[in-house]
């Protein structure tokens, strides 16, 4: 269970967010600029709240009252961005194993062969990111995040940079990822089709305020 209660201020933008997130895929929906990516960055540890608390499975990661803070690299959260952000100078194999090598052997939850089969990327191992299509890059980015053995996957509009054809190719892999790994995921999107296909729960954010659960009816989505 992920629990958080944040206040974050930057310039004229203020974010207030409080929620408890369990297993399955939780979709975070809202208009552009509402604070979706900012909330993910706070959970990942890329930003720090002025006030707040964050815990996962009873481990406290942030408590501003006691000045306790676990840095991003020790949270063991997998983060996938819109463009994958692969290391351009590394092969697909080395990109995939970047986090795996940094994870203690006793904590590794997935093997390379398992992830290659899950995402169907075994044939891509010797290539560099520049030699991949957009869909292939996102599958490799997902594989790299999995091989880090995350306790939580944070997906920040991972299909936004893809055309409709590639989105329809990647969505089944995300569904398979959800069903076969059982990892809790927080999925940022503003597309009804993605949310309807993947999400078990919807949270809505408006102008920096997390409003909590909203119905799954596309009419209520931004």
Tens-digit pLDDT profile for residues 49-71: 999 999 999 899 999 999 999 99
**Separation of CA 90 from chain center:** 22
Q: What is the pLDDT of residue 166?
A: 80
Residue range 94-113, pLDDT digits in tens: 999 998 888 888 888 889 99
Question: Percent of the chain beyond pLDDT 70?
Answer: 95
Query: What's the pLDDT band for 25 if we cut at 50, 70, 90?
Result: very high
Listed range (99-108, 125-134, 182-191) with the worst mean pLDDT = 99-108
Q: What is the pLDDT of residue 84?
A: 72
Query: What's the pLDDT band for 218 if we cut at 50, 70, 90?
Result: very low
Q: What is the pLDDT of residue 214?
A: 56
Single pTM value for the model:
0.86
Cα–Cα distance list, 153 to 9, 32, 109 (Å): 25, 21, 13
The CATH number of domain 2-214, selected from 3.60.15.10, 3.30.465.10, 3.30.540.10, 3.40.50.300: 3.40.50.300
Query: What's the pLDDT band for 172 if we cut at 50, 70, 90?
Result: confident
Asked if residues 8 and 42 have their Cβ atoms less than 8 Å apart, the reply is yes
Q: What is the mean pLDDT of residues 189-195?
A: 85
DSSP string spanning the chain? -EEEEEEEEETTEEEEEEEEE-SSEEEEE--TTSSHHHHHHHHHTSS--SEEEEEETTEEEEETTTTEE--GGGT-EEEE-TT----TTS-HHHHHHHHHHTS-GGG----HHHHHHHHT-GGGTT--GGGS-HHHHHHHHHHHHHHT--SEEEEESTTTTS-HHHHHHHHHHHHHHHHHH---EEEE---HHHHHHH-SEEEEEETTEEEEE--S-GGG--
Distance, CA of 141 to CA of 81 (rounded, Å): 8
Distance, CA of 78 to CA of 42 (rounded, Å): 13
Query: What's the pLDDT band for 222 if we cut at 50, 70, 90?
Result: very low
Ordered by start, the domain boundaries in the chain are 2-214
For residue 212, the cross-strand partners are: 204
Kindly state the tokens that stand for 159.
């299909």
Q: What is the mean pLDDT of residues 36-44?
A: 94
């Amino acid at each position: 269970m992920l629990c958080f209660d944040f206040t974050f201020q930057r310039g004229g933008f203020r974010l207030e967010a409080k929620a408890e997130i369990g297993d399955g895929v939780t979709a975070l929906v809202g208009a552009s600029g509402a604070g979706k990516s900012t909330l993910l960055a706070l959970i990942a540890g890329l930003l720090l709240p002025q006030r707040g608390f964050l815990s996962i499975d009873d481990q406290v990661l942030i408590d501003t009252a006691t000045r306790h803070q676990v840095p991003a690299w020790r949270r063991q959260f997998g983060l996938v961005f819109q463009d994958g952000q692969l290391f351009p100078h590394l092969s697909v194999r080395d990109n995939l194993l970047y986090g795996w090598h940094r994870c203690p052997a006793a904590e590794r939850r997935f093997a390379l062969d398992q992830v290659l089969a899950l995402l169907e990327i075994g044939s891509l191992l010797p290539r560099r990111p520049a030699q991949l299509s957009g869909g292939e890059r996102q599958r490799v980015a997902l594989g790299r995040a999995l091989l880090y053995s995350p306790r939580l996957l944070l997906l920040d509009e991972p299909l936004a940079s893809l055309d409709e054809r590639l989105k329809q190719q990647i969505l089944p892999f995300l569904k398979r990822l959800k069903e076969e790994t059982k990892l809790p995921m927080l999925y940022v999107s503003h597309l009804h089709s993605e949310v309807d296909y993947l999400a078990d729960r919807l949270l809505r954010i408006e102008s920096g305020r997390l409003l909590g659960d909203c119905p799954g009816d596309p009419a209520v989505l931004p």
